[in-house]
Every structure is written in structure tokens, then in C-alpha cells.
């Protein structure tokens, strides 16, 4: 972005109105991509294939809290004015069930792959970071990503303290920043890749002025100050490593139902179990399905499960997410999207549990 007067045109960046946004969806689809984005369904903002900008949840926001999620009408018609919903892009990059291979008893055949060319539309910065972390583990083709910078953090959000938002980090093809004010409903669009820039040339837009960029920067900066939550300002990896024997895990276990909701809604939790299905002709199919470290069978070894107590299972999840993910993949497994807080039926808050561990100083009881 260049520096100049308020009216000076800024390199690369353009401004789209709703018509331009609609054109962007259509152009991405015309190129053979399956465009997936937020839609309102069953009183939640979920992810589904978009046909046009009309499918977006215009005018809908959300209200979140520990164990709480409600959609609400907004005062404006913003389409990205909602924080993370119950689904994440994980369900497309790492589907809940995926066939692996078939066997007739003498030979094995890899399951046919039908690669879908996805365009993810309206990816929030926390989820943009999650896509990078998840693909680091499970691989797969890179989707085309249209990020939507966050100007509307929710009550359970803490991406800022995880370094994953509210501005979009790397990994997007196009980043949008939405604004609705007296000057209308519009989206500042910045390209992150040549492919993104090429797509933007095909949709109606006007050049962005310095004023547009400043407003977007200001809105995103303001969002950083409106995060509902934050992680304690300590090295979380060290904190978890020092707290393996903390008595606090028992205190969490008194509330935790070990239901596994947190692992299902987490945009980076990648664990799977493999299942065999046989038919009456003697053929077998092997498939993976999402698994949770809260399942008692997850750690099953001959003779029984390693982690039988709820305390050990919660410790495994939180320690992996914030600590040992670093050992395994060189980064944190958490992006601060807050889904695990909103969708925990007991309202367990990972930021509060981390703060509780930090307060006890990492020592043994």
C-alpha cells in the first residue's frame, strides 16, 4: 500500500460493493471452484456452498459466551458481522469421514480421490491460521481463500493473544474488510497472491483510496481491543509442560463431561480413528473418521485405555493444543477462535483454565 493523499489511489487494493462481492463469488465458481462460505441455517452461521452473495448471512450477527451461541439480528446488513460458528473449514479439508481403501482379501485399492477445487469465502483470520495449521498435518491441495478480516470479535474470541488475528495473516488469495456506514456497504479487497489479483481484475470495483485503507486498518485495530478474552501472558508451552502434575486437572474434570465437543468444533483438532466395514461378499472397506482424545477408547492399548480419568483426557487435549503441538509441529495448535468455549456444554473456558494454571505457578499441589 502506498502512502499519499486521502484521495490517492492505492496500489492493488480495490473496493467492491455488494454487486462486486456477488460477482466475486460467481467468478470463483465459473473457474470450476466449489465456493463455500457462511450461511444462516438452523439458527447458526454454518458453512455451505454459495450460489450468490444472497446466500450470505446478511444482517445476522451472533452472541456467544461459555456454553452459549445465539444468532441475532444486526442493525446493519453486514455479511461477515459474525464470529466463529459451530463448523470450521476442517470439514472440507479433513472430512468427518473419508474412505481410505478397499480390500477383497488378496489385494488393496486406494479409495478413489475426487479432489474438489474449493474457494473458501469469508474465512476469518483465526480460521485462516487454522487452515495453515491443519494442512501442515493432513496435507491436501490448497484451497483458494477469500479472507474476511475481523472487525467484529465475539465474547469468546482471543485470536489476538494467539497472534492469529484480527487482521488476516499469510495464506489468503484475497482479503476483504467489510464496512457499512453512511457511505454505503462495501468491501476493501487486497490480493495476497497473483491468482487473487487476477481474480479481482474480473469483478466490478473501484480503486481504493487511502481513506478506504485507513478506515479498514482502523476497524481491524479496534477489533483487537474488543476481544472478549485473552490467554495469560506467559509462555503457554512452558506453562503446560510445568503443569503435568497440577491438581487443577482434577478441578476441570469435576466440570468436564468428556463429551468431545471441543475437539469436534476445534478447527485444528485432526485426530482420526480407522474403521473397517465388511459386506456380505467378503469385501472390506477401511475409512477414517474424526476421533476425539476424550473418547475412552482413544488411548486403548491391549488390556485397557491409558487415559481413563476425565482429568487425564482434558490434560491431554489442552496440553496438546497449547503445548506439545509445538514439539510435534513447531507451532501452537490453538488459534483463539473460541469455539471450544462456546460449544462446551459445561462452559469450560480454555483461557480461564490456562489462567488458573498460571496462577498456581506450575508447581505440584
Partner 1 sequence: MTSWVPTPCRVVERTVETHDCVTLTLRPVTGSLPAFRPGQFAMLYAHGVGEIPISVSGIPADGTLVHTVRAVGAVSRALHDAAPGTVIGVRGPFGTAWRLDGVEDLLVVAGGIGLAPLRPVLGHPSRRTVLVAGARTPEDLLYAGDLLALSDVDVVLTVDRGGHDWHGRVGFVTEPLASIPLDPERTTALLCGPEPMMRFCARTLLGRGVPAGNIQVSLERSMQCGIGLCGHCQLGPLLVCRDGPVTGYPEAEPLLLAKEL
Q: Is 362 left (phi over 0), alpha (psi -120 to 50) or beta?
A: left
Is residue 309 a contact residue for partner 1 (CB under 8 A)? yes
Closer by beta carbon to partner 1, 62 or else 322:
322
Which residue in the set 137, 253, 346, 355 belongs to the binding site for partner 1 (CB under 8 A)?
137
In the complex, the smallest distance separating the C-beta of residue 146 from partner 1, rounded to whole angstroms, is 28
Which residue in the set 288, 331, 356, 358 belongs to the binding site for partner 1 (CB under 8 A)?
288
Is residue 328 a contact residue for partner 1 (CB under 8 A)? yes
Is residue 330 a contact residue for partner 1 (CB under 8 A)? no
Closer by beta carbon to partner 1, 5 or else 106:
106
Is residue 254 a contact residue for partner 1 (CB under 8 A)? no
The grid cell for 90 is 476442517
Closer by beta carbon to partner 1, 193 or else 312:
312
Task: Give the torsion sign (CA, 123, 124, 129, 131).
Answer: negative
CA distance 311 to 27: 50
Is residue 272 a contact residue for partner 1 (CB under 8 A)? yes
In the complex, the smallest distance separating the C-beta of residue 111 from partner 1, rounded to whole angstroms, is 6
Closer by beta carbon to partner 1, 117 or else 328:
328
Task: Give the torsion sign (CA, 333, 336, 341, 344).
Answer: negative
Between residue 146 and residue 165, which ones bind partner 1 under the rule CB under 8 A? none
In the complex, the smallest distance separating the C-beta of residue 106 from partner 1, rounded to whole angstroms, is 5
CA distance 41 to 33: 22
Is residue 222 a contact residue for partner 1 (CB under 8 A)? no
Is residue 321 a contact residue for partner 1 (CB under 8 A)? no
The grid cell for 25 is 463469488
> Residues in the site for partner 1, rule: CB under 8 A?
100-101, 103, 105-111, 113, 137-138, 244-245, 270-274, 276, 278, 282, 284, 286, 288, 291, 293, 298-303, 306-309, 311-312, 316, 319-320, 323-324, 327-328
Amino acid at each position: 500500500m502506498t502512502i499519499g493523499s486521502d484521495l490517492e489511489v492505492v496500489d492493488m487494493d480495490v473496493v467492491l460493493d455488494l454487486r462486486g462481492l456477488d460477482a466475486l463469488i460467481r467468478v470463483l465458481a465459473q473457474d470450476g471452484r466449489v465456493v463455500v462460505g457462511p450461511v444462516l441455517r438452523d439458527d447458526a452461521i454454518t458453512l455451505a456452498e454459495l450460489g450468490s452473495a444472497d446466500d450470505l448471512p446478511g444482517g445476522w450477527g451472533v452472541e456467544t459466551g461459555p456454553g452459549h451461541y445465539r444468532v441475532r439480528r444486526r442493525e446493519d446488513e453486514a455479511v461477515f458481522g459474525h464470529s466463529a460458528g459451530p463448523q470450521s473449514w476442517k470439514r472440507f479439508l479433513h472430512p468427518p469421514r473419508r474412505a481410505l481403501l478397499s480390500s477383497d482379501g488378496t489385494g488393496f485399492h486406494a479409495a478413489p480421490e475426487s479432489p474438489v477445487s474449493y474457494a473458501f469465502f469469508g474465512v476469518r483470520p483465526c480460521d485462516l491460521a487454522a487452515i495453515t495449521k491443519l494442512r501442515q498435518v493432513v496435507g491436501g491441495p490448497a484451497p483458494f481463500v477469500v479472507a474476511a478480516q475481523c472487525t467484529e470479535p465475539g465474547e469468546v474470541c482471543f485470536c489476538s493473544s494467539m497472534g492469529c488475528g484480527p487482521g488476516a495473516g499469510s495464506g489468503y488469495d484475497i482479503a476483504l474488510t467489510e464496512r457499512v456506514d453512511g457511505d454505503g456497504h462495501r468491501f476493501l479487497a487486497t490480493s495476497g497472491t497473483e491468482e487473487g489479483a487476477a481474480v479481482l481484475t474480473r469483478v466490478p470495483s473501484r480503486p481504493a483510496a487511502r481513506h478506504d485503507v485507513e478506515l479498514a486498518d482502523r476497524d481491524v485495530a479496534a477489533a483487537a481491543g474488543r476481544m472478549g478474552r485473552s490467554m495469560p501472558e506467559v509462555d503457554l508451552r512452558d506453562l503446560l509442560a510445568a503443569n503435568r502434575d497440577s491438581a487443577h486437572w482434577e478441578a476441570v474434570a469435576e466440570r468436564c463431561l468428556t463429551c468431545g465437543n471441543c475437539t469436534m468444533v476445534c478447527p485444528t483438532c485432526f485426530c482420526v480413528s480407522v474403521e473397517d466395514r465388511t459386506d456380505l461378499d467378503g469385501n472390506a472397506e477401511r475409512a477414517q473418521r474424526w476421533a476425539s482424545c476424550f473418547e475412552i477408547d482413544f488411548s486403548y492399548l491391549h488390556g485397557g485405555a491409558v487415559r481413563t480419568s476425565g482429568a487425564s483426557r482434558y490434560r491431554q487435549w489442552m496440553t496438546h493444543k497449547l503445548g506439545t503441538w509445538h514439539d510435534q509441529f513447531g507451532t501452537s495448535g490453538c488459534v483463539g477462535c473460541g469455539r471450544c468455549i462456546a460449544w462446551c456444554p459445561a462452559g469450560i473456558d480454555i483461557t480461564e483454565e490456562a489462567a488458573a494454571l498460571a496462577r498456581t505457578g506450575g508447581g505440584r499441589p
